[in-house]
Amino acid sequence: MSKLNNLAEAVFQGDFTEVKNLTQQLVDDGVDPLIIINEGLIGGMNIVAPKFKAGEMFVPEVMKSAKAMHIGMEVVKPLVAESDIPYAGKVVIGTVAGDLHDIGKNLVIMILESGGFKVIDLGVDVPPEGFVEAIKKHEPQIVGMSALLTTTMMAMKDTINAIEKAGLRNKVKIVVGGAPISQDFANEIGADGYGADAMAAKEICSKLLSR
């Protein structure tokens, strides 16, 4: 097996030390940093995705793999100009006003980043105007909203209304998710997509951008 394959396997296994060592070795060997990222680090997450979907891997293991990938990225990133990293797209994401849950959101961020997306995390309890400002500042293609409480679900609708009012609705695709959210609710509030879990969120984002 080549070192790149070994690196992908180490990411999949969530072996932090091995990922760091192999990434450094590949850098020292003069391998193109983008090849290390795409074939080694993202390559490892590409093994994770179908296994998670098939129920062969669970959230803690996926998070471990994603963290391993991030450890490798820290080694490679300084060698790559920000402009050279080929991003699949840019996503602004946050938990809506009144809601302080972030575990699901953080997992979605990890999975999106491991799928090559650039993600701007707005944190939790983000008011509608916080999303509006972020769209103006970062010009993302996608806005992701998370809500974990039935009482904060309607804040998603308020946020979409604020985005519309600011004249930005046609500039972004809006994806929603979280425990109480359903496809029906997403349709009702006028969102473009709904992700039942982190992997689904990544697939929806990829689909929306390929349209």
What is the residue range of 12's domain?
3-84
Q: Are residues 101 and 38 in the same domain?
A: no
pLDDT for 107 equals 86
Q: Are residues 107 and 135 in the same domain?
A: yes
- Rg over alpha carbons for the chain, rounded to the nearest Å, is 18
As for how many domains the chain has, the answer is: 2
pLDDT for 206 equals 93
Q: Are residues 106 and 44 in the same domain?
A: no
Q: Are residues 145 and 44 in the same domain?
A: no
Q: Are residues 110 and 173 in the same domain?
A: yes
Residue ending a domain, among 84, 119, 144, is: 84
CATH number (domain holding residue 59): 1.10.1240.10
Q: Are residues 44 and 111 in the same domain?
A: no
Q: Are residues 33 and 125 in the same domain?
A: no
CATH number (domain holding residue 103): 3.40.50.280
pLDDT for 83 equals 66
Sheet strand arrangement including 89-95: 117-121, 89-95, 142-146, 173-177, 193-195
Q: Are residues 105 and 9 in the same domain?
A: no
pLDDT in tens, 174-208: 999 999 999 999 999 999 999 998 888 999 999 99
User: How deeply is 188 buried, as exposed, middle or buried, from its count of CB atoms within 10 A (0-12, 13-18, 19+)?
Assistant: exposed
Each residue's pLDDT expressed in tens, for the chain with a length of 211 residues: 699 999 999 999 999 999 999 999 999 999 999 999 989 998 998 898 889 888 999 888 988 998 999 999 999 988 887 667 778 899 999 999 999 999 889 889 988 988 889 999 999 999 999 999 999 999 999 999 999 999 999 999 999 999 999 999 999 999 999 999 999 999 999 999 999 988 889 999 999 998 7
Q: Are residues 65 and 154 in the same domain?
A: no
Distance CA 42, CA 9 (A): 11
Residue ending a domain, among 84, 116, 141, is: 84
pLDDT for 165 equals 98
pLDDT for 87 equals 84
Distance CA 141, CA 69 (A): 24
Residue count (the chain): 211
pLDDT for 158 equals 98
